[in-house]
Amino acid sequence: MFTIKRSENNPLLSPRREHQWEAAATFNWCPVKDKKLVHVVYRALSEREQLEEPKIHHSIIGRATTKNGIDFTDREPFIFPEKDFEKYGCEDPRITKLGDTYYTFYTALSTYPFSAEGIKIAVALSKDLKKVTAKHLVTPFNAKAMALFPKKIKGKYAALLTIDTDRPPSNIAIALFDKIEDMWSGTYWDKWLKDKESHFINFHRATDDQVELGAPPVETKDGWLVIYSHINHYTDDRRSFGIEAVLLDKKDPQLIIGRTKGSFLVPELFYEQTGMVPNIVFPSGALIQGEDLHIYYGAADTHCARASIHLDDLLRSMQPEAHKFVTRFAGNPIITPRKTKDWEAHGTFNPAAIELKNVIHILYRAMSQDDTSTIGHATTKDGFVISKRDDKPIYVPRADFENKYHPGNSGCEDPRIVEIDGILYMTYTAYDGSMPRVALSSISSQDFIAGRWDKWSMPVIITPPDVPNKDACIIPEKTKMGYVFLHRINESVCADLLQSLDFKNERVEKCIEVLYPRRGMWDGNKVGISGPPIKTRAGWLLFYHGVSETGTYRVGAVLLDLNEPTVVLSRTAVPLFEPQEDYEIKGVVPKVVFPCGQVKRKDKIFIYYGGGDDIVGVATMSLSKLLKILT
C-alpha cells in the first residue's frame, strides 16, 4: 500500500522560448547523482523549422543541474545530431554512471518520414557531462529506451532495452556484455538477435498492451526496481498511458520477483493532459533520496515533472504475500441470505455500520425474491460474530420515489448512517425502477437502540430529479464550510454544502467534484464513497470503492482536509483490498467488494462490506499504519 505525491513545483522543467533548441518542449528526463548535485538529461524540442526541408521539430538532448531538486540551472545542449544514424533527432535519454564514465543511451532517428527501420538506440560517452567523448550506434534493429545497470552482474555489464517498439508488440529484454565495446558491436547483436525471445522479460499484463522501459534499474534491498511505461489498448482509441513497476532478482535480473498490479500514475493534471501530445505520463528516470523514490517523467510530451513514493511502502506493496495490510475475518461471511425469509432470500449485502454504547449495529441491504430492497439489522459485540439479527426488516419502502411500479429492482438500497447530536441520519439510494436518487430518514439514538423502528421519520428525497445519484452520506460534524454532503453523480464523488440538517428546506443542488476516476488505473471507470469518513488528527479518512475497466470493484482510501473536506490531501495509489475469496469473486454480481460502513475501535478499523452483491463480510486494518502511508 502506498501513495504517490507529485511535486508541488511541477512542472519542474518547461520549454523556454528564448532558447530556440528547447522552445517547443522539454520532456522525458533522467537524473544521475554526483556528490551534492543532481544532473539531468532531457529531450529538448525546437520549434518547427520554417526555412529548410523537412519542416520538423528537431530533438536534441539537453542537460541541467540542481542542488535542491526544484531549481534547475545551467541548461544547455548536450547531445545533438552529428552523425548519419541520428541526423533527424536525438530523443529520450537514459543515463547511468559506471566507473568514471557517464553512459547516455538515446533514441537515434536516421530516416524521415520516421519509420521503424530508422529508429534505433545510440549511446554517448562523457567524463564530465559537458563534452561528449564518443558516440556509437548500438542496435542495428528497431529499439528504444536502453539503460545500463549501475554495476556489473555476475561479472558482466548488463542493460535493459525495449525492442520492436515501433513494430508492436514491443518487449523489454536484457543484454549482457563481457566488455563495454560489445554494446556497439554488430557481431554481438547479430548473435543476440538470433535468439531474442530468450532475452525477453515478461512485463506485459494483457495481449493488447504496449510496454517500454522507463528508468534505468535502481538497486534496492529487495532487488532491482524498474519503473516502466504501460500503454493500455495501444492500438485503438481507448489507449491510455500509465506508470508501473517491477522488481527483478538481484542475481538473476531476468526473473521478476514482484510487481505492481497495475498503473499507479496516470494523466490527471493539466500539464499531463495538455501539450504536444496530450494525456501522457512517461517515466524516464528514478532516483532514491532518503526514504523516497523520485520518479522523473515526461508530461504530455511537453514538460518535465516528478512524483515521489515512500520506497519501503512501494516495495511492500509489490510483495503482498509477505506484507498483508488488510485482514479478512476467518469466519466470513458473517451475514448470508436466509432462504426461508422472503424479504432477504435473494441477497444480504452492502452494509452500513455504527457503534452505539459498545455495540456495533450493521444495517444491510436485503433483497427479496421479487428484487425489492429493504434494510435488515444485526448486531455484534466483538466486531466479528453476529450476536443478534432481526427477523424482519427495520426499514421498508414507504414513499412513491422508492416503490415498485413494474417488475425489477426497487426499494431502499445501500445505506450509510451517521450520528449527529443524538440523531441518526440514514442516507440511502431510493429507487423506483427508473431513476436512483438519494433519500434520507432519521431516528433518535435512543429509539434506535431500543428497536423502535416505527420512529423512523418519513423519508425525504434530497437530490434533484432526472439526475442519477447514489453513494451518499453526511460528514458527521459541522465544518467551517457547513455540513458537507457527499454523493456520487455518474462516475465521480461530489460534495454539496448545507447550512442545516432541516431537510424540509435543504436540498442537494451542487456537485463540487471531490474524487474522480483515474483512467487506466484500478479505479479508472467509476468511484463512489464507502462508509462515512472517520475523523483523525490528519484529516477525514474516507474509504471509497473504485471500479476498473473490467468491472471489478476494489477499495481505496483518501484523506480529506479537516476544515475543507472538499480538498483531497492524499489518495492511495493502489487498492487496500480487492475481490479475492470465492464469496467476493462469485455471487449475484461477481468480483465485488463494496463497503458502506466502518467502525473504529482504538487503532483497529472494522470495514463491513458486501461481497458479490450477496453476502456481508468484515475486514480489519490498522488506522495508524494507514495514516502513516497517507501522510
- Three-class secondary structure assignment of 541-600: EEEEEEECCCCCEEEEEEEECCCCCCCEEEEECCCCECCCCHHHHCCCCCCEEEEEEEEE
Residue 594's identity, in one-letter code, is: F
Question: DSSP string spanning 335-350?
Answer: B---TTSGGGTTEEEE
pLDDT (mean) for 323-344:
94
Mean pLDDT of 350-362: 98
Domain ranges of the chain: 15-317, 327-630
pLDDT given at position 322: 52
Q: Give CATH for domain 327-630.
A: 2.115.10.20
Residue with cell 562523457: 126
Partnered with residue 628 across adjacent β-strands are: none
pLDDT at 263 over 60: yes
Report the C-alpha gap between 522 and 562 in whole angstroms.
27
Helix (H, G, I), strand (E, B) or coil at 393: coil
- pLDDT (average), residues 539-558: 97
Q: Average the pLDDT over 3-27 and give the result.
A: 96
Convert the pLDDT of each residue in 464-486 to its tens digit: 998 999 999 999 999 999 999 99
How far is the C-alpha of 225 from the C-alpha of 216, rounded, in Å?
9
| C-beta separation of 157 from 96 below 8 A | no
**How far is the C-alpha of 311 from the C-alpha of 366, rounded, in Å?**
43
Q: pTM for the whole thing? A: 0.94
* Contact (Cβ atoms closer than 8 angstroms) between residue 108 and residue 120: yes
Evaluate whether 64 touches 74 at the Cβ level (below 8 Å). Answer: yes
Average pLDDT over residues 24-49: 94
If we measure between CA atoms, which residue out of 401, 418, 419 comes closest to residue 458?
Answer: 401
pLDDT in tens, 168-191: 899 999 999 999 999 999 999 999
| Fold agreement (15-317, 327-630) | yes
What are the CA-CA distances from residue 387 to residues 23, 377, 383, 598 (Å)? 70, 11, 10, 18
Residue 51 above 80 pLDDT?
A: no
The superfamily CATH assigns to domain 15-317 is Glycosyl hydrolase domain; family 43 (2.115.10.20)
Q: What is the mean pLDDT of the chain?
A: 95
Buried b vs exposed e over 354-364: b needs ≥16 C-beta within 10 Å?
A: beeeeebbbbb
pLDDT over 60 (residue 323): no
What values do phi and psi take at 279, rounded to 5? 60, 50
Radius of gyration of the chain (CA): 28
